[in-house]
């Protein structure tokens, strides 16, 4: 049982929009042990859609297609797919009533006439009713293959997957080969050093277990994938190899679940009853935003002060004017005072502070673009460190966030 | 002249990692008038890599492949591609010296032996020297087709594209058919109402101009694409249709360039000499992070207070305890005081404040998950509004950010 995802839209091909739907769909199918073997993004053109369906049908058993179901005339998926299946479009009165009710409920003007066409569905399809939008999804089964056609708007696609497609696949398309994935997240060790440390364990892996390195800035996630017919044996053997790796590199392991670093930090703080605040200059609130994106963060996160100007650094966080004059805004003494100020203002156990020159402007000879100072204030001490990044603004912000979170993690482990 | 992008990695197929490389590459190729016609994500398996190369070679003239060039043994691209081209791998001493120097410079331990293999390159390739990482890129030209093989780590890929691949394509692969794209960003009008407003203009478009609707939460971007041999005529005709649309829906147009909403806000503030701060509860610093991600934001953004706790709302922003008791943290009176507090603390002309129940926890009968209050304080007044979103935490945060920015935009236009 294999799956393929096809996303439609010129906005994907010209880079206007990043395809986040495919990763989300792949995760959900993976949870049902239906591995995705191919992801394709194609143009809003009839020929591209037909060729992609043909190739997908040859490679996969479950084909999920998103996009091109809207009311405007660049949305040609439905007519093209009807042609592909040699069927027609028929008006569905339940969908029509639903689309009309959405326009009524939102107290908008009359429903634009073009939306009537949204009630037309493939004659050979089961309608996947869309409670959260106007474009219905459709499911077609043919020759043992399952096709789902879904809107490209992420939350509508997610609603239809969660409530219509996945329950159906869960019941019907059971796989005889199980795929078992388990993860490990390391921080503070590079990919090749990590690989060197665990080379002998990797050598000893049986052929049905593969190990993948998923590096990101400042961290490496390891994925162990086992394939076999008996899920319990598979899980037990795979886990035993993972456990060997965990013991080998335990100083760098932050999670043995498929968690993000932020989730680990939030959970660790909640368990320890520890609270956090941030004082951010060059990261502009990104650390705070990433921490608070984790559900439950309000139990450990008290707040953040984003202090772009020197005045705000003094007024909000009590940074001393002398320190700013003597050492500058991007300096270890300044970030230490920012972190201690945030700890006090928000009444937290810990605080992370950042100040740096993210670029592209603002660099000087002694402090070029990429110079970043980070401090972490803990229960008993405040530590600061200076980093010399380069690259562009977005990367400098990302590196600073990871470095700040890593310094915080080290402090948490030391004091916890 | 057409391009295809192939990204390699099981982490893409199982949804662990969202493929952001493809959109970035597509934008850069688009700027050279080389349209991307197909994007494919495939597994780290030799057969998948070979089939993808065959199909891409049949469809496109420029093939960009990323991923699988790292030092660990799940990185099999190089050997597979050598096989595909019927060539071998040869050690490149310049690359080897560079890889060794990276390990020396970082004052790490000895270079792990597996990194020696990173200096092996395809015998038929030009080496694309990688100043920012250990994996070199490679370019192969064969039968009038250009292939680039690049690492999957985004900033390494970007460095090699910017400094090696794009300059080469700019000089050599000139297209005889020009593609001219021009954009329009609208906020506050739904896709189908927008389409209805401009239906007659869309009807009158000549066959060589296409119009695409790119809806996102709270905004719709329009893209006009013209194709033809004379770039100047093409641009002039396409622009004239766009201008008709701009005049028709001018109340909703925020940009006639390919800008983000945040970029428009930053530029508008800088031009007007206006300054902004934010006071964020449920958005957790996301508005601040998105504004400060724009280069130059420090000229108009003074700071943000992320105030998750009631204590912080009082201490940092001076919200009255009585207001919090009487109306609650998620209320229009509270967000108004938050916005006015931020204006004062940061000394700005404008402030945006948010407070809401993002979910999944925290909802009550009178204020269910999705209830969000937003205020904007301007020069002469403070406005507040209550929204009833639903969906999940991430979507609620995104909707709140867009609604807050839209309220700020309206205030800016009114007072500017």
Q: What is the ipTM of this complex?
A: 0.76
The CATH number covering residue A56 comes to 3.40.980.10
pLDDT tops 60 at residue B240: yes
Name the residue of chain A whose CA is nearest to B287's CA.
A285
| Helix intervals (H) in B198-283 | 199-203, 231-248, 261-272
Q: Is the confidence at residue A117, as pLDDT, over 90? A: no
| Coil, strand or helix at B323 | helix
> What average pLDDT does this structure show over A162-185?
85
pLDDT digits (tens, 9 = 90+) for A253-296: 999 998 999 999 999 999 999 999 999 999 999 999 999 999 99
Please name which of A66, A7, A60 lies closest in space to residue A175, comparing C-alpha atoms: A60
Q: Does pLDDT of A108 surpass 60?
A: no
Query: What is the structure's pLDDT at B355?
Result: 97
User: Across residues A309-335, what is the average pLDDT?
Assistant: 95
Please check whether residues B269 and B242 belong to one and the same domain.
no
CB-CB contact of A180 with A238 (8 Å)? yes
Structure confidence at residue B242 as a pLDDT band (50, 70, 90): very high
Q: How confident is the model at residue B109 (pLDDT cuts 50, 70, 90)?
A: low
Q: Which of A197, A223, A255 corresponds to the end of one domain?
A: A255
CB atoms within 10 A of CB A274: 18
| Residue B10 or residue B279, greater confidence | B279
Same domain, B289 and B272: yes
pLDDT over threshold 70, residue A95: yes
Pick among A15, A160, A319 to test the B interface (most B CBs inside 10 A): A15
Mean pLDDT over A4-10 rounds to 94
| Sheet (strand A219-228) strand order | A209-216, A219-228, A178-187, A253-255
Q: By CB neighbour count within 10 A (0-12 exposed, 13-18 middle, 19+ buried), where does B101 fall?
A: exposed
* Neighboring chain A residues of B9 at a CB cutoff of 8 Å: 214
Same domain, A245 and A267: no
Are the C-beta atoms of residues A97 and A129 closer than 8 Å to each other? no
Average pLDDT over residues B301-327: 95
Is the Cβ–Cβ distance between A165 and A64 less than 8 Å?
A: yes
B113 close to A (CB below 8 A)? yes
What is the separation of C-alpha A59 from the centre of its chain, rounded to a whole number of angstroms? Answer: 27
**Structure tokens given for A368:** 């070029």
Query: Does residue B90 share a domain with residue B72?
Result: yes
Residues A322 and A213 in one domain: no
pLDDT band for position A77 (50/70/90)?
confident
* Residue in A132, A130, A164, A167 with CA at minimum distance from that of residue A148: A164
Residue count (chain B)? 416
Domain end (from B172, B202, B222): B172
Among chain B residues, CA nearest to A388 = B106
Which chain B residues have a beta carbon less than 8 Å from that of A309? 298, 302-303, 346
Partner-chain contact A12 B28, CB within 8 Å: no
* pLDDT tens column, B113-142: 778 888 899 999 999 999 888 889 999 999
Look at residue A352 and tell me whether its pLDDT is greater than 90.
yes
Q: Quote the CA–CA distance of A76 and A111 in Å, as a whole number.
A: 20
Question: What tens digit of pLDDT does each residue of A216-227 get?
Answer: 888 999 999 898
Contact present, A14 and B35 (Cβ < 8 Å): yes
**Are residues B166 and B19 both part of a single domain?**
yes
Of the residues B228, B255, B282, which one is the last residue of a structural domain? B255
Tell me whether residues A312 and B302 touch, CB distance under 8 A: yes
Pair B383, B334 in one domain = yes
The per-residue b/e assignment along B205-235, b for 16 or more CB within 10 angstroms, e otherwise, is eeeebbbbbbbeebbbbbbbbbbbeeeeebe
Tally of domains within chain B:
3
Highest mean pLDDT: which of A113-127, A335-349, B118-132? Answer: A335-349
The closest alpha carbon to A194, from A258, A248, A259, A239, belongs to A248
* pLDDT value of position A109: 59
Question: How far is Cα A221 from Cα A194, in angstroms, rounded to an integer?
Answer: 10
Of the candidates A39, A181, A195, which has its C-beta nearest B112's C-beta?
A195
Indicate whether A50 and A159 sit together in one domain.
yes
A303 vs B301: CB contact, 8 Å cut-off?
A: no
DSSP-based three-state secondary structure for A123:
coil
Tell whether A133 and A151 lie within a shared domain: yes
Percent of chain A beyond pLDDT 90? 69
**Whether residues A123 and A35 fall in one domain:** yes
Read off the pLDDT of each residue in A352-375 and give the average, rounded to a whole number: 92
Least confident of A26-30, A353-357, B319-323: A26-30
> Per-residue pLDDT for A104 more than 80?
no
CATH of residue A328:
3.90.950.20
Let me know: does A158 contact A150? Beta carbons within 8 Å: no
Q: Which residues of B touch A48 (CB under 8 A)?
A: 37-38
> Is pLDDT above 70 for A364?
yes
- In A153-300, DSSP assigns E strands to 178-187, 209-216, 219-228, 253-255, 276-280
CATH at B222: 3.30.70.2860
Which structural domain, as residue segments, surrounds residue A23? 3-172
- Domain check: are A250 and A294 in the same one? no
Within B32-153, where are the H helices? 46-59, 77-85, 93-105
Instruction: Kindly indicate the confidence band of residue A139, based on its pLDDT and cuts at 50, 70 and 90.
Output: very high
Q: Is the pLDDT of residue B107 over 70?
A: no
Answer yes or no: are the C-beta atoms of B202 and B211 closer than 8 Å.
yes
Give me the pLDDT at residue B113, please. 76
Q: Average pLDDT of B67-94?
A: 87
| DSSP line for B326-358 | HH-SSSHHHHHHHHHHHHHHHT-SEEEEEEE--
Q: What is the mean pLDDT of residues A335-344?
A: 97
Q: Is A405 found in the same domain as A288?
A: yes
């Amino acid at each position: 049982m294999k799956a393929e995802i096809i996303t439609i839209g010129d906005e994907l091909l010209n880079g206007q929009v990043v395809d986040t739907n495919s990763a989300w769909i792949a995760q959900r199918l993976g949870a049902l042990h239906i591995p995705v073997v191919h992801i394709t993004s194609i143009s809003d053109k009839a020929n591209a859609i037909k060729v992609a369906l043909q190739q997908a049908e040859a490679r996969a058993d479950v084909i999920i297609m998103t996009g091109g179901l809207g009311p405007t005339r660049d949305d040609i998926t439905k007519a093209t797919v009807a042609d592909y299946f040699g069927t027609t479009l028929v008006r569905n009165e339940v969908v029509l009533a639903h689309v009309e009710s959405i326009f009524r409920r939102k107290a908008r003007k009359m429903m634009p006439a073009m939306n009537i066409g949204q009630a037309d569905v493939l004659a050979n399809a089961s309608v996947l009713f869309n409670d959260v939008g106007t474009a219905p999804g459709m499911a077609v089964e043919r020759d043992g293959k399952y096709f789902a056609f879904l809107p490209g708007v992420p939350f509508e696609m997610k609603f239809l997957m969660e409530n219509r497609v996945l329950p159906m696949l869960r019941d019907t398309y059971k796989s005889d080969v199980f795929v078992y994935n388990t993860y490990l997240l390391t921080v503070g060790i590079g990919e090749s050093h990590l690989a060197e440390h665990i080379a002998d364990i990797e050598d000893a892996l049986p052929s049905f277990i593969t190990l993948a390195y998923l590096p990101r800035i400042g961290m490496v996630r390891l994925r162990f994938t086992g394939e076999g017919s008996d899920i319990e044996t598979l899980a037990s053997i795979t886990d035993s190899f993972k456990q060997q790796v965990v013991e080998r590199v335990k100083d760098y392991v932050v999670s043995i679940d498929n968690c993000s670093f932020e989730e680990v930090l939030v959970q660790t703080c909640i368990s320890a009853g520890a609270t956090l605040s941030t004082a951010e200059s060059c990261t502009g609130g990104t650390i705070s935003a990433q921490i608070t994106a984790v559900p439950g963060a309000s139990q450990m996160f008290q707040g953040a002060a984003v202090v772009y100007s020197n005045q705000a650094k003094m007024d909000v966080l009590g940074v001393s004017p002398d320190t700013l004059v003597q050492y500058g805004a991007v300096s270890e003494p300044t970030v230490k005072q920012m972190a201690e100020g945030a700890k006090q203002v928000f009444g937290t156990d810990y605080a992370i502070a950042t100040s740096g020159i993210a670029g592209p402007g603002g660099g000087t000879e002694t402090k070029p673009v990429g110079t970043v100072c980070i401090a972490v204030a803990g229960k008993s001490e405040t530590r600061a460190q200076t980093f010399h990044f380069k690259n562009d603004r977005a990367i400098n912000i990302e590196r600073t966030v990871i470095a700040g979170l890593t310094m915080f993690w080290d402090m948490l482990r030391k004091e916890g």
